[in-house]
Amino acid sequence: MFLDTLEASARRVNSCLCVGLDINWLEMSAYDTDSSSLLDFAKSLVQSTSQHACVFKFNHAFFAAQGLEEQLARIIAYVKESYPDTPVILDAKRGDIGNTAERYAEEAFIRYNADAVTVNPYLGWDSVEPFLRYRDKGVILLCRTSNEDSGWIQEAGKDHPVYLMVAERVHQEENPNLLLVVGATQLEALSQVRQIAPSTTLLVPGIGAQGGDLTAVLQRARRSDGLGVIINCSRSIIAHPDTDDYFFQVAESAAEYAQLMSIQ
């Protein structure tokens, strides 16, 4: 069960830090002086942050843009072999219908062997169901995102905005493996979602580079047991200025963020 693994992992590292490996290969290659391959570079990032991450999140787009899907599969396989207690999220924001949605679920859960995948709800609940059929896997639905124009559709409906409809439906499902994405820049939405879906675990991006306020997020999103939220940091951990001790800096940043997000 994804959520059990995730919560055990958060307790073990005493943090709700999700390390987002949004590796921009073009930028990163500047630091990649000692390692002979992209795979080694990614492995070093995983090693440098593994003590502090309760979960790793891989961003499909950064691999797909350059035809590096096979490398993505290998990196995930490496994490699952070397750090079997740390789950892996494939951040792919898939959304399609019928047999196409089935293929995307297959991509995330079989081809990449991810423990959870991000899914876009715009096409309706029947577009989410093919992912939910993998009952031990996590499905993380976009609810309220952190970007500037996110309210356009997500807040449509005024008194009964779309993002709260999504949160309500997820709450009704009573499936602990069904999570919601709520951006750190949306503090009011975080409070609302937490009220409507009190037990649902939230994945919160938007801390760091996007300017979200960590303390305010934790106050609104964290459940009384200290869990119920995982907070993603990507660029603020892995995009360091060009330094000789890059992986050391990455480890330091991950440690700092992890401590700020400690559970106990």
Which region, left, alpha or beta, applies to residue 144 given φ > 0 means left and ψ of -120 to 50 means alpha? beta
Structure tokens at 14: 């005493």
* CB 16 within 8 Å of CB 257: no
Residues that bind a second copy (CB under 8 A): 22, 24, 59, 61-62, 64-67, 69-70, 73, 93-101, 103-104, 106-107, 110-111, 120-127, 142, 145-154, 156-158, 160, 162, 165-166
CA distances from 252 to 42, 137, 248 (A): 17, 31, 6
- Cβ at position 100, least distance to a second copy in Å: 5
* CB 263 within 8 Å of CB 10: yes
* Closer residue to a second copy (CB): 159 or 244: 159
b/e sequence 15-53, b meaning 16+ C-beta within 10 Å: bbbbbbbbbebeebeebbeeeeebbebbbbbbebbbebb
In this structure, how many other beta carbons lie within 10 angstroms of the beta carbon of residue 73? 15
* Closer residue to a second copy (CB): 3 or 190: 190
- Cβ at position 235, least distance to a second copy in Å: 9
- Cβ at position 132, least distance to a second copy in Å: 13
Residue 201 contacts by C-beta under 8 Å, 6 or more apart in sequence?
Answer: 3, 6, 176, 179, 180, 227, 228, 229, 230
Structure tokens at 137: 């896997």
Catalytic residues, which ones? Answer: 93
User: Distance (Å, rounded) from C-alpha 39 to C-alpha 5?
Assistant: 25
- Cβ at position 8, least distance to a second copy in Å: 29
Angle in degrees, CA 223, 148, 198, rounded to 5? 15
Which one, of 42, 30, 36, lies nearest residue 242 by Cα? Answer: 30
- Cβ at position 49, least distance to a second copy in Å: 20
